[in-house]
Amino acid sequence: MNIQLMEFPRHMDEYGSLVPIEASDSVPFDIKRVYYIYGVEKGVRRGFHSHADLEQVLICVSGHVRILVKTPWEEQEIFLDDPQKGLYIGPMVWREMFDFSGDAVLLVLAGDHYKVEDYIRDYNKYEQIARQYFTENQ
């Protein structure tokens, strides 16, 4: 489905924990952009888009959040509550983020700069393009 759960190694000692992330090594692309989402009010659902080309890894570095990932054929709900876990989302996967805890910080590593033209925000249009994409890339 073009998604993958990944687990990063953690260096833990009496001073706390550290999780290093190396571009192309810990994640399967060169990181060109980092952003984080936080302060999301209870009941808010966001995302509602797919990307045509962009690859991303989502890491909930504090608190917890649920991610719905969806293609025209299947969908999964993933609970992120561990700073050691990352959710890789490849191109052409519809995503929605919801159930943010009050302390949630969702860190996103992206393989490209912000490009408005890479977003597909209309679900019907997404379905149409995704059917073709997955048929051609099977």
Using alpha carbons, select from 97, 138, 96, 90 the residue that is nearest to residue 118: 90
Residue nearest to ligand TYD (CB): 46
Binding site for ligand TYD (CB under 6 A): 33, 35, 37, 46-47, 49, 114
Residue 29 to residue 26: CA distance in whole angstroms? 9
Q: Which is nearer to ligand TYD, 35 or 79 (CB)?
A: 35
Q: Check if 64 is active-site.
A: no
Using DSSP's 3-state secondary structure scheme, residue 98 falls into strand
Query: Tokens for 35?
Result: 């952003």
* CB count in 10 Å sphere of residue 123: 15
Q: Which is nearer to ligand TYD, 37 or 52 (CB)?
A: 37
* Nearest distance in Å: CB 47, ligand TYD: 5
Q: Which is nearer to ligand TYD, 79 or 137 (CB)?
A: 79
* CB count in 10 Å sphere of residue 45: 13
Q: Which of 49, 51, 64, 113 is catalytic?
A: 49
Which positions are annotated as active-site residues?
49
